[in-house]
Every structure is written in structure tokens, then in C-alpha cells.
Amino acid sequence: MKILGARVQGFRNLADAEYEFSSGVNVLQGDNGHGKTNLLEALNFVALGRSHRGARAEELIGHRAAHLHVCVTVQTAVNNVHVLEFGLDRDGGRRFRVDGEAVAHRADLIGQLATVFFWPQSNELVRGGPEHRRRFADQGLSSLDRDYLRALTAHQRALRQKTRLLKDLRHSGRVSGSARRELVAWNADLAQHAAAIGVGRACWAQGLAPHAAAVYVALTGTPAPLEFAYRPRLLALAALAAGPAEKNDLVEDILAEIDYIGPDEMRRGRPLTGPQFDDFDVRLGSLDLRAYGSQGETRTAAMSLVLAQSEVVFERRRVRPVLFLDDVFSELDRERARRLREWCGRDHQVFVATARADEVSDWHPQRIRRWRVEDGRLATLP
């Protein structure tokens, strides 16, 4: 998959402009604060339907612009070119278009362009709290599987409703018959969605793990066993690690677990179990990297997980996602940086942003294009 070009208007500090990219490696170099990450964010927005930095529309719209519009031309296969567009207004208006046709939902845009993003914050994948690993899983899975995205969204909605109800009940101190019925209904809903989320996460983690281990070896040159495994909160889902389960049995088991913890939930006034508490193990042999990883191990493990996701995308969809590497080379020693470039340059279109041009000056893959980024403007370098 390649991003052939883009037209950017009103996005952060970027000048309104149109670009043509190399289908190989695109290097964006320039001092910090000039707009390298902004451009990557604009391109990647199309893939996620949101900012990878979690920025809101009003942060993304240029200070002097009324709205923003980004149009990205993507080649998904030979002879298969699509135009993906989004527009955001200050008053919250959003527009998504695929090949000129308006699409109503973010979900219709997600997955059209497959990307994988690595930036310094990606290290949180290993050292940060479980929410970072859940987000990584959810983003990766949602781009591959619309049913997963639907289950996730429905689960979040039901969980909000149940939380509100439990809070009300705790305040009032009395549980009416209708409140009890409502709770039963939310639990039934939650159990259905939790089963779908659990099955999705378990399969995804099992598929990702061997790739992550292989990339770790490729980046370090040492056969260290990087392990990645799903650690769900629900016991019924933990059984999934042992082997596939019947969906119906799973829903029943989950419901029984939620029921069992019900009185506690009433007392505490909030849901106490479910996939919203899931985590994933990241280990190097017997070492739990989440707690004990050195900086080098953490970075390389996080990078391995992200690059492994690109292998999962290839396995499931037969397309190579576009790789975004933002400010990553400065964190690696020379040998790992060289191995990373080798790994990425082989099959993928790559966008690299760096403040230190010397880090990539000795990189000469087949098709490379260098850009200088200054004050939101890009100029091609020889």
C-alpha cells in the first residue's frame, strides 16, 4: 500500500500545498517545531479517522484557518487507486469522503489505508499502563475487523450506561424492580460484546506474538525470546488462551462471572470486571519488560510489537501497510538503526521524520525522497 500524494489545507502550521511522495522512502528532516509530525499526523488521520496524538479538531485546525481539509491519494494495489478525504470544522462538523462519495461514519474510512506508526510515545506500549496496550490492540484490530470495532463501540456504550445506573443506585440506596431489570439487560449486552472482544484480542495476540519475536531478533541480532500474550480480566476469557471456545458457552460463562461480582458492583457503584481491565504480557524470557525492561529493551520491544502489527496486516489483508517512523532513529544505537532501516526499506513505503539528518544520510534505498521541513513548508532536497 502506498500514499501517492496528498493535498493539505488548514492543517496546524502546514502551508496549504500539494505533495507527491516516493513509493519507497520519504525522509522529512528539519529542526524541531517546524511541522514534521504535523504532516505525518495529517496523513495518518485518514487511516485512523482520528489524530494519532489524540488531538481534537480545534487543535488540528490551523490558527488562521476556519476549517481543515486533507485529501490523500492511496494506491492499495496495482491499478487500484483511491482518494480518501476528511474535513473538520471549528464547530465540530466532520466530513469523510471515499472516492468523492460522502461516508457517514468514521468506521467507513478506517481500514481503507493501512498504516503503522512508531513514535517516542510508542515506548509506553511496554512501560506504560495497560490502557496503552489495549489501545494498541484495539486500533490494530479495528483496522482489520469491522465487527470488532462494532463490538468495542457497543461495549463502551453499554458500559457507560451500566456505570451511570450503578452510580444512581448507590446514591439512592434502593434498588427498584425496574432498575434491577435494566441492570440484567446491560449485563446480557456486555457479556455478548465482551465475548467478541475477548475472542478478537486472543486471536490477534496469538497471531502477533511470533512476528514480534522474529522482528526482535532481526533488530537485535540476538535470539532473545520476546513474548506477548493476552491477559484478560475475565476468567472465562483467560480460558481462551488454552484453545478456541464455543461462543455461546463463553457468553454464558462471562455472564455468570458478572453476576457473581454483581453485589460488589452495587456496593462500589461501578463495574468491576470486563475487557476494559484487560492487559497483555510483554516478556523477554522470564523478565517482565513492563516492570523491568531497560531503555534499550523497552524501545526495541515496543518497536517489534508495532512492526509485528504490520506483518499481521499483511497476513490478513495481503497488503503492506505504510510505515511512519517519527523521531525514532536518535533513540537507537547505530547497529539497531541500520537493522531497522533494512527491515523497513524492504517491502514498505516509509515516512521518516527526524531532526538529525545525519542519522539517515547513509541510507540509500532504491527510491528515496528527501524533504526539508521549515515553518510548515516542505522543499524537496536533492
Ligand X SMILES: Nc1ncnc2c1ncn2[C@@H]1O[C@H](COP(=O)(O)OP(=O)(O)O)[C@@H](O)[C@H]1O
Question: Given the complex with ligand X, which of 33 and 221 has the nearer CB atom?
Answer: 33
Query: Which partner in ligand X, Mg ion, none is near 374 (CB below 5 to 8 A by kind)?
Result: none
63 binds ligand X (CB under 6 A): yes
35 binds ligand X (CB under 6 A): yes
Given the DSSP bridges, would you call strands 287-288 and 377-381 parallel, antiparallel or unpaired? unpaired
Query: Which partner in Mg ion, ligand X, none is near 115 (CB below 5 to 8 A by kind)?
Result: none
Given the DSSP bridges, would you call strands 2-9 and 322-326 parallel, antiparallel or unpaired? unpaired
Query: Which partner in ligand X, Mg ion, none is near 276 (CB below 5 to 8 A by kind)?
Result: none
C-alpha cell at 358: 545525519
C-alpha distance across the termini of the chain, in Å:
25
112 binds Mg ion (CB under 5 A): no
- Give the nearest distance from C-beta 370 to ligand X in angstroms: 15
69 binds ligand X (CB under 6 A): no
What is the footprint of Mg ion within residues 37-76 (CB under 5 A)?
Answer: 37
- The SS3 call for residue 219 is helix
- Give the nearest distance from C-beta 267 to ligand X in angstroms: 45
C-alpha–C-alpha distance, residues 54 and 211, integer Å: 27
Question: Given the complex with ligand X, which of 12 and 50 has the nearer CB atom?
Answer: 12
C-alpha–C-alpha distance, residues 128 and 293, integer Å: 11
C-alpha–C-alpha distance, residues 264 and 259, integer Å: 10
- Give the nearest distance from C-beta 171 to Mg ion in angstroms: 46
- The SS3 call for residue 121 is helix
Question: Given the complex with Mg ion, which of 168 and 375 has the nearer CB atom?
Answer: 375
Total residues at interface with Mg ion (CB under 5 A): 2
Give the full edge-to-edge strand order of the sheet including 2-9. 17-20, 2-9, 67-77, 80-89, 94-98, 101-103
- Give the nearest distance from C-beta 13 to ligand X in angstroms: 3
37 binds ligand X (CB under 6 A): yes
- Give the nearest distance from C-beta 120 to ligand X in angstroms: 11
The dihedral over CA atoms of 16, 21, 25, 30, expressed in degrees to the nearest 10, equals -20
Helices (H) and strands (E) in the chain, counts: 12, 15
Span near ligand X by CB under 6 A; candidates 55-63, 84-92, 188-196, 235-243 = 55-63
Pick the closest to residue 324 from 345, 351, 348 (CA basis).
351
354 binds Mg ion (CB under 5 A): no
142 binds Mg ion (CB under 5 A): no
C-alpha–C-alpha distance, residues 303 and 227, integer Å: 13
Question: Given the complex with ligand X, which of 50 and 134 has the nearer CB atom?
Answer: 50
Given the DSSP bridges, would you call strands 94-98 and 80-89 parallel, antiparallel or unpaired? antiparallel
12 binds ligand X (CB under 6 A): yes
What single-letter DSSP state applies at residue 226? E
Question: Given the complex with ligand X, which of 12 and 162 has the nearer CB atom?
Answer: 12
121 binds ligand X (CB under 6 A): no
139 binds Mg ion (CB under 5 A): no
318 binds ligand X (CB under 6 A): no
DSSP H helices, 22-74, are: 36-48, 57-60
List residues binding Mg ion (CB under 5 A). 36-37
List residues binding ligand X (CB under 6 A). 12-13, 30, 32-38, 59, 61-63, 353, 373
